[in-house]
Structure 1
Amino acid sequence: MFEFPKFSRQSVKNDVLSGLTVALALVPEAVAFAFVAGVDPMVGLYAAFIVGLVTAVFGGRPGMISGATGAMAVVMVSLVSEHGIQYLFAAVMLAGVLQILAGVFKLGKFIRMVPHPVMIGFVNGLAIVIFLAQLGQFKVPDATGAMQWMQGAELYTMLGLVLLTMAIIHFLPKLTTAVPSSLVAIITVTLLVHGLGLDSRTVIDFVRSMSGNADATLAGNLPTFAIPDVGFNLETLRIILPYSLILAAVGLIESLLTLTVIDEMTGTRGQSNRECVSQGMANVTCSVFGAMGGCAMIGQSMININSGGRGRLSGITGAVGLLLFILFGSALIEIIPLAALVGVMFMVVIGTFEWASFKMMRKVPKHDFFAIILVTCVTVAADLAIAVLVGVIYSALVFAWEHAKHIYASTHMDQNGSKIYEVNGPLFFGSVTHFQELFDAKNDPKDVIIDFAKSRVSDHSAIEAIDTIADRYAQLGKTLHIRHLSPECRSLLQKAGNLVEVNMLEDPTYKVATDTLGG
């Protein structure tokens, strides 16, 4: 599963520097998602380290960054509040096992069936979610501890530093690409704030305001091994199984869609089934080291790719760098201004959002554009898994509706006086109603043939429709014959057994040239 890639000096430099940039951006995200889930900040930071390291080493998409995510955190909060953190660890363990099984049984390939409009909606929805999440950094606690919007000089300072960060990220690559512009922006703004003594909130201010503890710190120790302290019985399974199923599904959907987005950005192709296994391994590892689990993060992945990180070393550097910050460099991380990290994430939003989707309104079918809007809105209003599911179902229904209108029949009489219906188009659940309207059983002759040479019978609804037509003719004392059914269609009829009764004519055998013969 793991290979030792060959590194060039340039790729090592790019991966290390982009990995350090990612490590810095991971800190407030991991802390924020830990609070969303209702757990200690270190539980989120440990998850960012473990998930990031395991998936970087064993994952199917080099350059993709994984860690604690909001999509999974919102699922965890009710479990933690009702049953405690140990049940969370047990649920994460089971979710990891389910993800491993998904990879072993090669279910990851089905992500390729997600329609492109759904992909665009997913990307746009996540961009909006990332943007809205950053707005919380513009709130500060008042005298009572309640959060309120910044005002006056504090707000203007914050906005100015955010714009400065964004300007550095945008313009520096035009001068040099020797170092990641995001890393330069974070360091520059941090030095500026502390050099000039500007009043700007820092990472530790954010942690303390979220926890309500004025002495909170990001300093920590290595995570310790411990099996979840729950009873391994059916009662525990009953509690955690619903959460584990959702966590596994959300994690895989977000990871595999992020993998697909990065594939398109880099012109390469990741291994979806391998990514499923690595995500599962990461979550199982989290469960025994006191971490909340996670999945791929499109925001941090975009930072990494845009900063030049392409290989596994970038993800490894990001994870190890985060752990080193926790163990030895917490004092340095704590003084980073939030404005610098907000500016980085705003640039991620700009780079992630598919601005071209606005131009698609008049260039793509209306149902495709509606799919983009639908998935985007559901992603923002609900969550990613529901949005993708809704988008796929909508696209499938539109496909069925459009193809249901494509069935028709041409008729003629043969030399024996039989009327032949030559059916064109697919016969499936969506088209059976129109199919049944094609026949004039009352006025047809005694012998009728339905020719499926240019059609295909796809499902049981189609078989039932054929049987219904046959009954109509039988009740009028007329005979209906079926001709040119494909082998798959004949198989469907044979499986149906005595559920349907149709009269199939012997079909002529055709010799067909296939690619297999040229093998």
Structure 2
Amino acid sequence: HIAGGLPTFALPQIPWTLETLHIIAPYAILMAMVGLLETLLTLNLTDEITETRGYPDRESVALGAANMVSGLFGGMGGCAMIGQTVINLSSGGRGRFSGVFAGVMILLFILFLSPLIERIPLAALVGVMFVVSQQTFAWASLRVINKVPLNDVLVIMAVTVITVFTDLATAVLCGIVIAALNFAWQQARELYADEHMEADGSKLYRVHGTLFFASTTPFLNRFDPANDPAQVTLDCRHLSFVDYSAIAALMTLRERYTKAGKHLRVLHLSERCRKLLKRARVQHD
């Protein structure tokens, strides 16, 4: 039964205490994450289909404000829906009027036309959901499985499976973590160093890549403090320091050369790297 009336303003009849906040906060945060993620995904999909540019910040603020006002009138939280948006766009809806019309029609169904909606067979609604699923699924991703790296295929499969068995927020979070770990692994493997002896008998290391938590071990393994000459130069012209792990790796390298009775000189640091080293009080000359 979907018949209803116009909403009225009413504050929730609950104790306004920290204990109440402790109970509802986990569910509120989860719902907010799911709503925000689906809204941003819908906005991104709409931009691709219509070849336009949306405004994620404005969309997020509007969604939050609308849900807060809706809650004050006893309404349920909502967000942009991928299925409804795809069906709307595939039917020719491109302007703002299409969204306004959909909202007005839902309001009319609740206030006046609920007897007509209740006459629709449940089997027909199941068919509608199948059509929505078929229209929403990115079938083009199946055609590029054998053309993209295996790591990307695993991310796509993992997010799809996790979405089915859990929820969208958990799936997206897991997908971000997997993609981040994959990116860190790839960046760590791309770090390499050129080395050669100078005319004065010193040794020059010219390191290329990004130095961060995942690449510190390959970075340290490029050097040989025990067998290097007394003067060693590290050229960082093509090396970028990202986090504190990079600074710690440089400090460890310097300590290894100091214990071996040798001097390590660091050259051509970028301005950002100099600021990181200065903040950590590391001498690089």
The normalised TM-score by structure 2 is 0.95
Q: Distance in 2 between matches of 1:302 and 1:476?
A: 66
Residue 288 (structure 1) shift:
1.2
Q: Secondary structure at the match of 2:210?
A: strand
**1:43 alignment partner in structure 2:** none
**1:232 alignment partner in structure 2:** 16
1:251·1:295 contact (CA, 8 Å) conserved in 2? Answer: yes
Residue 418 (structure 1) shift:
1.8
1:226·1:290 contact (CA, 8 Å) conserved in 2? Answer: yes
Letter in 1 for 2:238: K
Letter in 1 for 2:200: N
Q: Secondary structure at the match of 1:503?
A: coil
Residue 233 (structure 1) shift:
2.7
1:220·1:326 contact (CA, 8 Å) conserved in 2? Answer: yes
**1:412 alignment partner in structure 2:** 196
Alpha-carbon displacement from aligned partner over 1:405-451 (angstroms, at most 9, x marks no partner): 11111112223322111111111111110111111111111111100
Alpha-carbon displacement from aligned partner over 1:233-253 (angstroms, at most 9, x marks no partner): 322222222222212111101
2:86 is equivalent to residue 302 of structure 1: yes
Q: Distance in 1 between matches of 2:122 and 2:96?
A: 28
Of the structure 1 ranges 328-337 and 420-429, higher mean CA displacement relative to structure 2 is found in 328-337
Q: Which of the residues 271, 277, 280 maps onto 1:487?
A: 271
Q: Secondary structure at the match of 1:361?
A: coil
Q: Distance in 1 between matches of 2:93 and 2:256?
A: 67
Of the structure 1 ranges 405-414 and 481-490, higher mean CA displacement relative to structure 2 is found in 405-414
Alpha-carbon displacement from aligned partner over 1:248-298 (angstroms, at most 9, x marks no partner): 111101111111111111111211111111111121122111112111211
Q: Distance in 2 between matches of 1:358 and 1:237?
A: 44
Q: Secondary structure at the match of 2:280?
A: helix
**2:284 alignment partner in structure 1:** 503
Q: Distance in 2 between matches of 1:383 and 1:301?
A: 20
Q: How does 1:345-360 map to 2 (within 5 A)?
A: 345-360=129-144
Q: Secondary structure at the match of 1:425?
A: strand
Alpha-carbon displacement from aligned partner over 1:463-484 (angstroms, at most 9, x marks no partner): 1111111111101111111001
**2:225 alignment partner in structure 1:** 441
Q: Distance in 2 between matches of 1:244 and 1:356?
A: 34
Moved over 4 A (4+): none
1:481·1:502 contact (CA, 8 Å) conserved in 2? Answer: no
1:360·1:369 contact (CA, 8 Å) conserved in 2? Answer: no
2:226·2:260 contact (CA, 8 Å) conserved in 1? Answer: yes
**1:223 alignment partner in structure 2:** 7
Q: How does 1:269-308 map to 2 (within 5 A)?
A: 269-308=53-92
User: How many residues align structurally?
Assistant: 285
Q: Which of the residues 136, 141, 151 maps onto 1:367?
A: 151
**1:452 alignment partner in structure 2:** 236
Residue 232 (structure 1) shift:
2.3
**Larger helix fraction of residues:** 1
Q: Distance in 2 between matches of 1:354 and 1:242?
A: 31
Q: Secondary structure at the match of 1:344?
A: helix
Q: How does 1:242-253 map to 2 (within 5 A)?
A: 242-253=26-37
2:172 is equivalent to residue 396 of structure 1: no
Structure with more contact order per residue of length (Cα contacts < 8 Å, sep ≥ 6)? 1
1:482·1:502 contact (CA, 8 Å) conserved in 2? Answer: no
Q: Which runs of no fewer than 5 residues in structure 1 stay unpaired?
A: 1-216, 505-519
Alpha-carbon displacement from aligned partner over 1:298-344 (angstroms, at most 9, x marks no partner): 11111211111122211111111111122122222222233333333
Q: Distance in 1 between matches of 2:183 and 2:284?
A: 31
Alpha-carbon displacement from aligned partner over 1:451-501 (angstroms, at most 9, x marks no partner): 01111111111111111111111011111110011111111101112xxx4
Letter in 1 for 2:247: I
Q: Distance in 1 between matches of 2:233 and 2:117?
A: 79
Q: Secondary structure at the match of 1:453?
A: strand
**1:70 alignment partner in structure 2:** none
Q: Which of the residues 203, 213, 217 maps onto 1:429?
A: 213
Q: Which of the residues 112, 117, 125 maps onto 1:341?
A: 125
Q: Distance in 1 between matches of 2:53 and 2:125?
A: 30
Q: How does 1:59-208 map to 2 (within 5 A)?
A: none
Q: Distance in 1 between matches of 2:146 and 2:3?
A: 54
1:405·1:431 contact (CA, 8 Å) conserved in 2? Answer: yes
2:42·2:80 contact (CA, 8 Å) conserved in 1? Answer: yes
2:145·2:153 contact (CA, 8 Å) conserved in 1? Answer: yes
1:480·1:502 contact (CA, 8 Å) conserved in 2? Answer: no
Alpha-carbon displacement from aligned partner over 1:354-399 (angstroms, at most 9, x marks no partner): 2222222221100111111000000001110110111111111111
2:166 is equivalent to residue 382 of structure 1: yes
Q: Distance in 2 between matches of 1:447 and 1:284?
A: 65
Letter in 2 for 1:431: S
Letter in 1 for 2:208: N
Letter in 2 for 1:492: L
2:229·2:262 contact (CA, 8 Å) conserved in 1? Answer: yes
The normalised TM-score by structure 1 is 0.53
Q: Distance in 1 between matches of 2:99 and 2:108?
A: 14
Alpha-carbon displacement from aligned partner over 1:36-91 (angstroms, at most 9, x marks no partner): xxxxxxxxxxxxxxxxxxxxxxxxxxxxxxxxxxxxxxxxxxxxxxxxxxxxxxxx
**2:107 alignment partner in structure 1:** 323
Q: Which runs of no fewer than 5 residues in structure 2 stay unpaired?
A: none
Q: CA RMSD in A?
A: 1.4
